[in-house]
Amino acid sequence: MDISAKTAAIVLGAVFILVGILGFFPNPLLSPTGLFQVNTAHNLVHLLSGVALLAGAYTTFGASLMLKIVGVVYAIVAILGFLMGGPMLLGLVAVNAADHVLHVALAVVILAAGFLLPEDQPAMA
């Protein structure tokens, strides 16, 4: 099975939305004291990222372009996270060292999907 940019955007978008929702509920993975530190602003960023990826997949905007945009945003977030180093990114978004590493990995994966995957699968005859 070959994967397309549209499929990647749908899967990643759904995961971001799930993570955004999960962050609003106390759990050991995503919480103010969890492995990945989140707060309301961080959860909203995840939800927005998911919506943007799904919008790219289901509109004429295009999955590849939206993956590239979201990937660049996460690359910037990763760089800012390492440069700023504090518990709050831009004074709004709660982050920790695990978040910084994850943001790098997300940027690489999302950008790779945007640049390397075909936009969509050709129709089967």
Q: Is the pLDDT of residue 84 over 60?
A: yes
d(CA 22, CA 110): 21
Coil/strand/helix, residue 119: coil
Q: In the structure encoding, which two tokens stand for residue 71, read together? A: 């990937």
Q: If pLDDT is split at 50, 70 and 90, which confidence band does 1 have?
A: low
Asked if residue 62 lies in contact with residue 55, where contact means CB atoms within 8 angstroms, the answer is no
Summary mean pLDDT of the chain:
93
Q: Please write the tens of the pLDDT for every residue from 24-70.
A: 999 999 999 899 999 999 999 999 999 999 999 999 999 999 999 99
Q: In the structure encoding, which two tokens stand for residue 120, read together? A: 């969509």
pLDDT of residue 120: 77
d(CA 12, CA 90): 25
- State pTM to two decimals: 0.92
Over residues 74-91, the mean pLDDT reads 92
Coil/strand/helix, residue 94: strand
Q: What are the extents of the domains in the chain?
A: 5-116
pLDDT of residue 64: 97
